[in-house]
Amino acid sequence: RIYRLYCAACHGPDRQGIGDTPPLPRLAPGNLTAIHSSLSVITHGRPGTAMPGWRHVLDDDQLYVLLAYLYGTPDS
């Protein structure tokens, strides 16, 4: 639900990307470096791109639910 509300408008319902927004990669569970990097981008945004930071919109629990969704969604 959090992905659908805050991410799908740009990244698409299936994470394929829309327009100039790139698709989201399939993320491997257990890769702590990738998890930390993803949390940083979601929290602070990506300077020089259209990706905003969501820290003032999503609380810690919502951020972790979003990460769990991103790292738990299978390829197919």
- The reported pTM is 0.80
| Structure confidence at residue 43 (pLDDT) | 96
CATH code for position 17: 1.10.760.10
Contact status, residue 57 vs residue 28, Cβ threshold 8 Å: no
Q: What's the burial of 7, exposed, middle or buried (CB within 10 Å: 0-12/13-18/19+)? A: buried
| Structure confidence at residue 61 (pLDDT) | 94
Query: Based on the structure, what is the number of domains in the chain?
Result: 1
Which residue positions in the chain have pLDDT lower than 50?
Answer: 75-76
The span from the CA of 45 to the CA of 55, in Å, is: 9
Q: Note down the domain range covering 25.
A: 2-72
